[in-house]
Amino acid sequence: MQSFNPPVRTLMGPGPSDVHPRVLQAMARPTIGHLDPAFIGMMEETKEALKYAFKTENELTMPVSAPGSAGMETCFANLVEPGDKVIVCINGVFGNRMKENITRFGGEAVVVEDKWGEAVSVDKVEQALKDNPDAKIVAFVHAETSTGAMSDAKAICALAAQHDCLNIVDTVTSLAGSELRVDEWGIDAIYSGTQKCLSAPPGISPISFSERAIQKLSNRNTPVTSWFLDLNLVMGYWGKGAKRAYHHTAPVNTLYGLHESLVMLTEEGLENAWARHSANHEDLKHNLEAMGMSFVVNEGDRLPQLNTVWIPEGIDDAAVRSRLLNEYNLEIGAGLGDLAGKVWRIGLMGYSARKENVVLATAALKEVLASQ
Intra-chain end-to-end CA distance of the chain, in Å: 37
67 closest CA partner among 191, 247, 253, 224: 191
Rounded Cα gap, residues 347 and 352, in angstroms: 8
Give min distance, CB of 240 to a copy of itself, in A: 19
Q: Looking at 56, 58, 61, 65, which residue binds a copy of itself (CB under 8 A)?
A: 65
Q: Does 32 bind a copy of itself (CB under 8 A)?
A: yes
Q: Beta-carbon neighbour count of residue 45 at 10 Å?
A: 13
Give min distance, CB of 179 to a copy of itself, in A: 22
Q: Does 241 bind a copy of itself (CB under 8 A)?
A: no
170 burial level (CB within 10 Å; 0-12, 13-18, 19+): buried
User: By C-beta, is 8 or 370 nearer to a copy of itself?
Assistant: 8
Q: Does 279 bind a copy of itself (CB under 8 A)?
A: no
Bridge partners of residue 43, in order along the sequence = none
Q: Does 305 bind a copy of itself (CB under 8 A)?
A: no
Q: Which helix (H) or strand (E) holds 278?
A: helix 270-290
Q: Does 220 bind a copy of itself (CB under 8 A)?
A: no
User: By C-beta, is 244 or 285 nearer to a copy of itself?
Assistant: 244
Task: Identify which range of 252-260, 276-284, 288-296, 308-316 contacts a copy of itself by CB under 8 A.
Answer: 252-260
Give min distance, CB of 257 to a copy of itself, in A: 7
User: How many residues line the site for a copy of itself (CB under 8 A)?
Assistant: 79
Q: Does 109 bind a copy of itself (CB under 8 A)?
A: no
Helix axes 68-79, 93-104, angle to 10 degrees: 40
Q: Look at residue 19 and give its three-state secondary structure.
A: coil
Q: Looking at 239, 251, 283, 328, which residue binds a copy of itself (CB under 8 A)?
A: 251
Instruction: Kindly provide the b/e burial profile for residues 81-107, where b requires at least 16 CB atoms within 10 angstroms of the residue's own CB.
Output: beebbbbbbbbbbbbbbbbebbeebeb
Q: Looking at 59, 100, 118, 338, which residue binds a copy of itself (CB under 8 A)?
A: 100
Say whether the peptide bond before residue 63 is cis (omega within 30 degrees of 0): no
Rounded Cα gap, residues 227 and 77, in angstroms: 10
Q: Does 369 bind a copy of itself (CB under 8 A)?
A: no
Q: 127 with 137: CB under 8 angstroms?
A: no
Q: Does 346 bind a copy of itself (CB under 8 A)?
A: no
Q: Does 235 bind a copy of itself (CB under 8 A)?
A: no
Q: Looking at 55, 179, 226, 278, which residue binds a copy of itself (CB under 8 A)?
A: 226
User: By C-beta, is 127 or 232 nearer to a copy of itself?
Assistant: 232
Q: Does 272 bind a copy of itself (CB under 8 A)?
A: no
Q: Looking at 86, 260, 288, 323, which residue binds a copy of itself (CB under 8 A)?
A: 260
Q: Beta strands 137-141 and 166-170: pairing type?
A: parallel
User: By C-beta, is 188 or 331 nearer to a copy of itself?
Assistant: 331
Q: Does 142 bind a copy of itself (CB under 8 A)?
A: no
Q: Looking at 256, 274, 295, 344, which residue binds a copy of itself (CB under 8 A)?
A: 256
Instruction: Kindly provide the b/e burial profile for residues 206-230, where b requires at least 16 CB atoms within 10 angstroms of the residue's own CB.
Output: bbbbbeebbebbeeeeeebbbebbb
Q: Does 225 bind a copy of itself (CB under 8 A)?
A: yes
User: By C-beta, is 162 or 272 nearer to a copy of itself?
Assistant: 272
19 closest CA partner among 272, 140, 193, 170: 193
Task: Identify which range of 34-42, 114-122, 288-296, 354-362 contacts a copy of itself by CB under 8 A.
Answer: 34-42
128 closest CA partner among 154, 99, 94, 165: 165
Footprint of a copy of itself on residues 191-210 (CB under 8 A)?
A: 193, 195, 201-203
